[in-house]
Structure 1
Amino acid sequence: MVHTPNIMMAAGTTQLLEKQNEKSEYYRRAPAHIRSYEDAVAYAPNQAYIGRLKPDDLKNIKRPWYENPLPGAERFGPYGEIMPEDEFYGLMAMADAFDLVMLEKGFALEIKQKLSAHPLMTDQDLARIKTGTDMETIRQLLGQGAIELTYHGHTVGCIKKAHDVDENLSAHTMLENIATKASAVLALRHLIKNAGISPWGIDYIIECSEEACGDMNQRGGGNFAKAVGEVAGCVNATGADIRGFCAGPSHALVNAAALVSAGIFKNVAVVAGGAVAKLGMNGRDHVNKGMPLLEDMLGSFGILVTANDGKNPVIRTNSIGRHTIGSGASPQAVIQSIVYDPLERLGLKATDVDKFAPELQNPEITEPAGAGDVPKANFKMIAALAVRRGEIEKAAMETFIEEHGMPGFAPTQGHIPSGVPFIGHAKELILSGKMTRTMIIGKGSLFLGRMTNLFDGISFIIEKNPGIIPEEKPAAENVKEPAKATESKDISIYLAEAFREFADYLRARGKGDGT
């Protein structure tokens, strides 16, 4: 994670829209609601994201979490870190291949010194950061459309445009893309360290964020994967990008598992950088309710998919949940296709899944905007359908949600909350014997691209390693008859409530995206 309050104010979509309004009360008041780096580190959901807390630990911390900071919270955790913004500017300069990130001379020197103490940075990395430029040149570039980089109220640099007329290479787009690349590099570096693998050992990289790079002749045709791998030193890897809105990471992990299972590649890294556009997305509501601007974090992640070693948890490639074109767009149809259909093929019930990991947005971010508790809405739908299918009793619904769900803890970065933040926790819980199986659920709102009104969803099961076996049988051979459905007016009401909450989230998301 990266704390980026100044990038949020300079380039977050909501802030850009409000900045154009000279009478914007929000843009005038917002700076007073920016939280410090120390507050961001001590924020419990952020500590859960980097692995210092388990998601269920959040149940024991009084809400609002932003009013109950964790004493002794640390920057580094088992799954990564919370990087401060000044160091991230240096990381962006390190990731810049076309001299677009211009840092002021004194600031560049200061950041080089700070990053020299970072456990993942090398002398070669530091050499990528240029010596910097003078303030007069930076002022001239700002007058020509560059995006200002500020820190503690001072101008410390800028991002230049890469082309005079191509909006795909504008300063704003370059800021978004370099931030995505740099945050993905940070995640990949932590992945390499935590997995104990040499960067040379990675064969293939899949990048699955929500940004796109290219020029006017091929918008979005570019390749973040190899750009990220280049900076991380993955000299033996090739790679490509996969996009699918919020479901992109789950699609990417399914593809990674297939590539490894087929023997095409041995070690596939799935990575994603953060989304600058979504910083401060619900800021208006946070400011109106007297809250800090909680969407000041760029999230990123990296996951290594390798051949079965007989020990680590496995992805069940023989029963992938998928929302097909013909599945239907209702929330019930979505949950049936991506949750219950794959379970049926394996002869499993919802109660056989220890934890479901759908959209794990932090509710303190979404509730003030009227979108409700998104993870809980998903768990309600799963539970209600379990009752309708006769898998649990109605009286057990709340217990099911408590035991098989979890509090949301991820930043609202679109693709970032979509199931994957739980994978590190799941691996640890499975290896320790505290859990057997989890389902990672990715869902995407395809209507945002104005190409279709279809919904999207894909899921996969991660479970305890049974040991190396010759070959998995196709899931179709293990199909059991669905459990007998039970009809109940109360359940219909409960389903309707869950579906309404989910629909409210979709409406709020569309509005938050500036549509």
Structure 2
Amino acid sequence: MNSVIKGAGYVLVHTPDMVLHAGTTQTTEKIVNPDSEYLKELPNHIRSYEDVVAYMPNQTYIGNMTPEELAEHEQPWVGKNMENAQRYGKFGEIMPQDEFLVLMQVCDVFELVYLDKAFVSATKDKLAADPVIGEDIMAKVAEGIDGAEIKRLVDEEHAEPLYHMGNLVGCVKRAHDVDVNLSAHVMFENIACKASSVLALLHAVKAAGIDKADVEYVIDCAEEACGDMNQRGGGNFAKAAAEVAGLVNASGSDLRGFCAAPAHAMIEAASLVKAGSYKTVIVTAGGCTAKLGMNGKDHVKKGLPAIEDVLGGFAVVISANDGVNPEINLDMLGRHCVGTGSAPQNVIGSLVAAPLAKGGLKITDVDKFSPEMQNPDITKPAGAGDVPLANYKMIGALAVKNGELDKKELASFPAKHGLVGWAPTQGHIPSGAPYIGFAREDILAGKINRAMIIGKGSLFLGRMTNLFDGVSFTIQPNSGAQAEEGVSEEKVKGLIAKAMKEFAETLMADADAE
């Protein structure tokens, strides 16, 4: 029986100071052109926490607005704040930077993250008020150290500074004097990724209504890598995050595949559950500080805020078939093989048309496709266009080519079978995953019958291959109850008993006749 999606958590973390000090666009600019006009102007384009919470794509990400409701508002959405916007949504929350810094300190188990005493004192009660942050996590909050010692660590010990509202409030120490894989900056990136994953895990467990002890395995599919000089990228983010989240019965491992990793991880998790290896698996991913302000130069040049000011995170709970929740159909998996090639038509054919053909389905039999769901507010000013719309146009064109869609219906295909983009450009975060929570709800409510999640990745970024990558899977209504009824042990026993009884009655009737 197919595995089911039992719930999902989606979180954002507003990190304005990290945009200025950690995003690679900014850190690189400080090296090559430290006196640039961009660096001078950028601080004037940083949004407030209130504006970030009220930003409609962010509200969509945490579930307070549906993609359909977002689509009703004219683009661009920046500057058109949602009224009565809330920090918490049905899927998760938008956490402010100060609380997140304390959560990062909680996630540090090697005494690398230090925060100012006064900052901790002023912030810890705010973090404690978060409904998913329990006493077990708050018990790990350290008192903090003097601000003067933090400045010394930054100035003399190569520690990575941590800022809030422009003020130095902490630092991340290097974990090794020589090993660049354990440098202060790498440790900062990894701990931020881990902390945002922990937050997503906590919300996913809450959304799924399960006990933490029910989780048996965790798969992390973010874009960071942890290890030392002897095994850079050895892992394991999954188990590290599960430890802090209190998933005491869970083991775990990391899966990496650039932007396609979430789709790969979902297929792996569904397969493990279907095989009976584990009953409950969570796929999780934290955010990527390097991508903060990635397109900042274009945004500032056009007078826009630095919209890439949030870390993203998500977690999806996959469990054994319960006869209720939507299934992941493992009989219709799309995959970009080595020999597929990188031509757009070949890519879409391998990820969309080919797997549907296995199930005797047409492209138009899928109600909603979720490929790369980047927010067009971010990508359009940077010259990348509307990424989701471009994908839908290609899928629709393939449907026309295959004779499954009339050419006159091509223009309406994106609105009917697609979604507007609302996810931050955090690499792996937009790649199909943002719609999984909505797809589950829409299928349970009978609004749609079938959704396809498409993950695509640029493997050439690692300089190991020029190949492109991609996988896809389909989510459908639960058919487990009916399937179980047809093959259950009790049903089989009953049929056998009935047959034996009828056979015995036949023998007796024959004997009487003789």
Task: Give me the TM-score of the superposition, normalised by structure 1.
Answer: 0.90
Q: Gaps spanning 5+ residues in structure 2: where?
A: 1-11, 485-514
Q: Which residue of 2 aligns with 1:94?
A: 106
Bigger radius of gyration among the two: 2
Per-residue CA deviations over 1:188-229 (Å, capped at 9, x if unaligned) read 000111111111110000000000000011000120010000
Q: 1:19 aligns with which of 18, 24, 30?
A: 30
Does residue 57 in structure 1 map to residue 36 in structure 2? Answer: no
Per-residue CA deviations over 1:66-99 (Å, capped at 9, x if unaligned) read 1210010000000000000000001101111111
Q: Secondary structure at the match of 1:320?
A: strand
Aligned amino acid, residue 69 of structure 1 = N
Distance, in Å, in 2 between the alignment partners of 1:198 and 1:428 is 21
Shift of 1:117: 1.2
Q: 1:3 aligns with which of 9, 14, 19?
A: 14
Aligned amino acid, residue 213 of structure 1 = C
Aligned amino acid, residue 17 of structure 1 = T
Distance, in Å, in 1 between the alignment partners of 2:345 and 2:464 is 23
Matches within 5 A, 1:16-415: 16-20=27-31, 21-143=33-155, 144-415=157-428
Contact 1:159/1:171 (<8 A) preserved: yes
Shift of 1:397: 0.4
- Identity of paired residues, percent? 58
Does residue 460 in structure 1 map to residue 473 in structure 2? Answer: yes
Per-residue CA deviations over 1:259-283 (Å, capped at 9, x if unaligned) read 0000010000100000111111000
Q: Secondary structure at the match of 2:469?
A: strand
Distance, in Å, in 1 between the alignment partners of 2:338 and 2:75 is 40
Distance, in Å, in 2 between the alignment partners of 1:145 and 1:24 is 24
Shift of 1:469: 4.7
Shift of 1:361: 0.2
Q: Which residue of 2 aligns with 1:495?
A: none
Shift of 1:63: 2.6
Q: Which residue of 2 aligns with 1:503?
A: none
Distance, in Å, in 1 between the alignment partners of 2:353 and 2:211 is 39
Per-residue CA deviations over 1:394-425 (Å, capped at 9, x if unaligned) read 11001111100110000000000000100110
Aligned amino acid, residue 204 of structure 2 = L
Contact 2:393/2:413 (<8 A) preserved: no
Q: Secondary structure at the match of 1:66?
A: coil
Aligned amino acid, residue 372 of structure 2 = E
Does residue 445 in structure 1 map to residue 458 in structure 2? Answer: yes
Q: Secondary structure at the match of 1:316?
A: strand
Distance, in Å, in 2 between the alignment partners of 1:349 and 1:288 is 44
Distance, in Å, in 1 between the alignment partners of 2:272 and 2:56 is 36
Distance, in Å, in 1 between the alignment partners of 2:456 and 2:77 is 27
Shift of 1:110: 1.6
Aligned amino acid, residue 148 of structure 2 = E
Distance, in Å, in 1 between the alignment partners of 2:300 and 2:292 is 14
Segment drifting more, 148-157 vs 331-340: 148-157
Shift of 1:123: 2.1
Aligned amino acid, residue 56 of structure 2 = A
Shift of 1:328: 1.2
Q: Gaps spanning 5+ residues in structure 1: where?
A: 472-515
Task: Give me the TM-score of the superposition, normalised by structure 2.
Answer: 0.91
Aligned amino acid, residue 43 of structure 2 = P
Q: Secondary structure at the match of 2:284?
A: strand
Q: Which residue of 2 aligns with 1:508?
A: none
Contact 1:323/1:338 (<8 A) preserved: yes
Q: Which residue of 2 aligns with 1:509?
A: none
Distance, in Å, in 2 between the alignment partners of 1:398 and 1:56 is 18
Aligned amino acid, residue 136 of structure 2 = Q
Shift of 1:31: 0.4
Shift of 1:374: 0.4
Shift of 1:62: 2.8
Q: How many residues align?
A: 473
Q: Secondary structure at the match of 1:259?
A: helix
More RCO (CA 8 Å, sep 6+): 2
Shift of 1:58: 1.5
Distance, in Å, in 1 between the alignment partners of 2:364 and 2:394 is 14
Does residue 436 in structure 1 map to residue 449 in structure 2? Answer: yes
Contact 1:10/1:147 (<8 A) preserved: no
Aligned amino acid, residue 378 of structure 1 = N
Structure 1 runs of 4+ off > 2 angstroms? Answer: 466-471
Shift of 1:52: 0.7
Distance, in Å, in 2 between the alignment partners of 1:439 and 1:38 is 34
RMSD over aligned Cα, in angstroms? 1.3
Segment drifting more, 181-190 vs 111-120: 111-120
Distance, in Å, in 2 between the alignment partners of 1:457 and 1:255 is 14
Q: Secondary structure at the match of 2:332?
A: coil
Shift of 1:116: 1.8
Aligned amino acid, residue 209 of structure 2 = G
Contact 1:62/1:68 (<8 A) preserved: no
Shift of 1:22: 2.2
Aligned amino acid, residue 183 of structure 1 = S
Shift of 1:466: 2.2
